[in-house]
A and B are shown apart, each in its own frame.
Chain A
Amino acid sequence: MRLPDRVTGLFLVGLGAAAAYGGWQLPPVPGQPVGPNVFPLVIGTGLALCGLAIAFGIGHSFEEEEELIPVEGGQPPPPTGKFYGLRALLPPALLLFYVVVADRLGFIITAALIVFVTSTALGARWKLSLPLAVLAPIGIHLIFSKLLRVPLPAGLLPMPW
């Protein structure tokens, strides 16, 4: 997902313009000299200006750019397939999966699926991922549901406590 500055900059211009336009359309509030429209207008404009500066490389010369340290060690591996990059979307997808099915399946089953999939996707063998998928949800459930009374959904497999 590494995009050229020109692309992200222009995207910010669009986002800023949309925000400014959206804010501009808000009705004024009686009794307030500055309505709810002003703040989005200012921010949208500022964002759009930043986007322009980034897209056209202004400001690079203004202050010394510090070297960006790569977050995780090592070079990215050669992509093994066309859709390799989409693997990054797995974690948010799993969280949305949790939102959709947790009430029906219950916390334990949903959480076990999430743990198993995440662990396997990161290259764990089943000897690690399977026990993890059983133990981690139960542990979390114990702490949150039993101890702290967070109403985690029981679903199909309620815990005996």
Chain B
Amino acid sequence: MTLATLSTSLSARFRRIPLPILAVIAILITMVLLAALAPWIAPADPSRQDLFARLKPPGFVGRSGITYWFGTDDLGRDLLSRVLYGAGVSLGVALLSVIVSTLVGVSLGMIAGWFRGWVEVVIMRLVDIMMSIPAVLLAVLTVAVLGPGFLKLVLVLGLTRWPRYTRVAYGQTLQVANLPFIKASELAGAGAARILFHHVLPNIAGPVLVVATAEFGLMILTEAGLSFLGLGIQPPTPSWGSIMSVGREYVERAWWIVLFPGLSLFFLVFSVNLLGDWLRDQLDPRSRTR
């Protein structure tokens, strides 16, 4: 089975997409578009301050005639623009860290499942160790040592979350490795790299995708959490977590600062999780008979 056949089988399975999932996909596409187009559609520079327009409510019209649709934060910055720019940061960190952990996790999982022996023991015990350490705690410690920053955050999140992928990839590889066509290509003289990449990977991609969507939502939340603690994205760059972190101080006086990034975060994670659940149902071997 190659990537081409995988994609035809997937498209056959997904021919009937239920309406809620279509809606969720629409929300996600809109969010990605808004985040990508933020520099062009944001009404103001997200770090432009006006100390005399601090903590103004949504709909406030500023001195320059600009309307603050989401209100302003504690330094008089336009909250709508900050939420829009923050979307890019949140999505970017989550996407990149999922890619990093997928690459690391899946490679290690396939290697462990294919070569077995001591390689398997070393990798899988390492996975057990990593899984027993709370990931957020590990991330907090690593950031505290390395210092904050966008790329560091991506690496920290990516490199603390790979074991989950390794477990899935390992189990799937074990199953796939015994299938006749794999044995056939081995006998035909294909090398390990070729077999893993061309034959095993396409067969385990489905379950990995399911893990990745679940992790994606979690990464957005973790980034928000770390930024909330001041360990994530540094000011004045906005991220939803850091905006909410500031807003917490003012929740009594200026509820809008936490509300808008909070709602955005909720919709994004909710959509990703719904999509992930649906994907899992579609790809679960046990539901294949449907």
A binds B: no
Interface of A toward B, CB cutoff 8 Å: none
Interface of B toward A, CB cutoff 8 Å: none
